[in-house]
Amino acid sequence: MTVVSTRLSPKELDYLTGIASENKMRKGGSDELSLGKALNELVRWCHLNRIDINSNHNAVNDDIKKMIEQIHVAIPHLMYLTRLQTVLLSDGIPEEKITRSRAQTLDYINKTCGDLQNINYDLVRFSMNDIGLKTLPVNKDKTLWKLP
């Protein structure tokens, strides 16, 4: 093992003391907090989690935000198609029934999740389909979703 000495700012010292306190890291059998154990644990945690101090750690949050935005776009489509299927399976499918069912379905999703259309997206690019639902189109050459 190698001994390492370091200078810490008051903020850094408070942070390290907090780690030692929260994790009950004490020197030997005493009640004194062990900043060395806290620093060692911090380095070990960074190593185990492959923390790159040069990378943008907000990228993970951006990935999660992007996923949530994509889910928000997909939910109305799922509800629309589910409701449309329910309405249409009740009996035959004459054209006037389809038109009426689509209108009822849009009314239904406006009442149940209409506020989702007011969410502003920062990380996903969307377009609108013919009935005003947001879509996340992908170039046909880049899509993985294809018929065999």
For 85-97, the pLDDT digits (tens) are: 888 887 677 888 8
At 141, the pLDDT band (50, 70, 90 cuts) reads confident
Q: Is residue 146 part of a domain?
A: no
Q: Which residue, among 79, 129, 84, 114, has the nearest Cα to 102 in the 3D structure?
A: 84
Judgement on whether residues 76 and 114 belong to the same structural domain of the protein? yes
State the pLDDT at residue 58.
66
Q: Is residue 64 part of a domain?
A: yes
H or E stretch covering 14: helix 10-22
32 phi and psi angles, rounded to 5 deg: -75, 135
Judgement on whether residues 74 and 118 belong to the same structural domain of the protein? yes
**Structural domain containing residue 119:** 60-133
Full-prediction pTM beyond 0.75? no
Q: How many CB atoms within 10 Å of residue 16?
A: 22
The total domain count for the chain is 2
Judgement on whether residues 128 and 64 belong to the same structural domain of the protein? yes
Judgement on whether residues 80 and 124 belong to the same structural domain of the protein? yes
Judgement on whether residues 121 and 69 belong to the same structural domain of the protein? yes
58-109 pLDDT, tens digit per residue, is 666 788 888 999 998 899 889 889 888 888 887 677 888 888 888 998 999 9
Q: Is residue 138 part of a domain?
A: no
Q: Is residue 55 part of a domain?
A: no
Judgement on whether residues 64 and 43 belong to the same structural domain of the protein? no
Q: How much is the average pLDDT of 13-41?
A: 92
Which neighbouring-strand residues pair with 44? none
State the pLDDT at residue 57.
62
Q: Is residue 147 part of a domain?
A: no
Can you tell me the distance from the alpha carbon of 36 to that of 26, in angstroms, rounded to the nearest whole number?
A: 10
State the pLDDT at residue 64.
86
